[in-house]
Amino acid sequence: LATAPAALAVRDITVRFAGLTALDGVSFTVEAGSVHAVIGPNGAGKSTCFNVLSGVYRAAAGSVRLGTAELTGLAPHRIAALGVARTFQNLALPPHATVADSLLLGRHRLTRAGFLASGLRLPSAAREARRHLERVREIAEFIGLEKELERPAGALPYGQQKLVELGRALCMEPQVLLLDEPVAGMTADERQRTAAVVAGVRDSLGISIVLVEHDMGVVMRLADAVTVLDFGRRIAGGTPAEVQNDPAVVQAYLGA
Ligand code: ADP
Ligand code: MG
Instruction: Output the DSSP codes for 195-235.
Output: HHHHHHHHHTT--EEEEE-S-HHHHHHH-SEEEEEETTEEE
Q: What is the pLDDT of residue 95?
A: 72
Ligand 1 atom closest to 229 (CA): 3
Nearest ligand, CA of residue 90? 2
- Residue 152 per-residue DSSP state: B
CA of 162 to the centre of ligand 1 (A): 23
Distance between CA atoms of 186 and 161, rounded to whole angstroms? 11
| Mean pLDDT per 10-residue section of the chain, whose length is 256 residues | 75 95 98 96 94 95 96 93 82 80 82 54 78 94 96 92 93 94 92 96 96 91 96 96 91 76
Nearest ligand, CA of residue 49? 1
Residues 6 or more apart whose Cβ sits within 8 Å of residue 49:
10, 13, 23, 26, 38, 212, 229
Q: Which of 13, 14, 16, 17 to mutate to test the pocket of ligand 1 (most atoms within 8 A of CB)?
A: 17
Contact 206, 7 (CB under 8 A): no
Sign of the CA dihedral with 237 first, then 242, 248, and 251 last: positive
pTM of structure:
0.91
Helix axes 158-170, 123-142, angle to 10 degrees: 130
Ligand 1 atom closest to 45 (CA): 6
Q: Residue 8 belongs to what H/E stretch?
A: strand 8-17
Domain boundaries, the chain: 1-83+173-256, 95-172
Residues 6 or more apart whose Cβ sits within 8 Å of residue 198:
35, 166, 179, 182, 209, 211, 222
Q: What is the pLDDT of residue 166?
A: 94
Residue nearest to atom 12 of ligand 1 (CA): 22
CA of 248 to the centre of ligand 1 (A): 21
CA of 75 to the centre of ligand 1 (A): 20
Q: What is the pLDDT of residue 107?
A: 85
CA of 157 to the centre of ligand 1 (A): 29
CA of 6 to the centre of ligand 1 (A): 29
Ligand 1 atom closest to 44 (CA): 3
Residue 220, number of CB atoms within 10 A of its CB: 15
Q: Which residues line ligand 1 (CB under 6 A)?
A: 17, 20, 22, 40, 42-48
Q: What's the CA angle centered on 52, arms 49 and 53, to 5 degrees? A: 85
When computed from its CA atoms, the radius of gyration of the chain, rounded to whole angstroms, is 19
The two most distant CA atoms of the chain are separated, in Å, by: 65
Q: What's the CA angle centered on 6, arms 5 and 7, to 5 degrees? A: 135
CA of 43 to the centre of ligand 1 (A): 6
- From the number of C-beta atoms within 10 Å of its C-beta (0-12, 13-18, 19+), residue 90 rates as exposed
Q: What is the pLDDT of residue 1?
A: 47
CATH architecture of 1-83+173-256: 3-Layer(aba) Sandwich (3.40)
Contact 2, 209 (CB under 8 A): no
H, E, C per residue of 90-126:
CCCCCCCCEHHHHHHHCCHHHCCCCCCCCCCCCHHHH
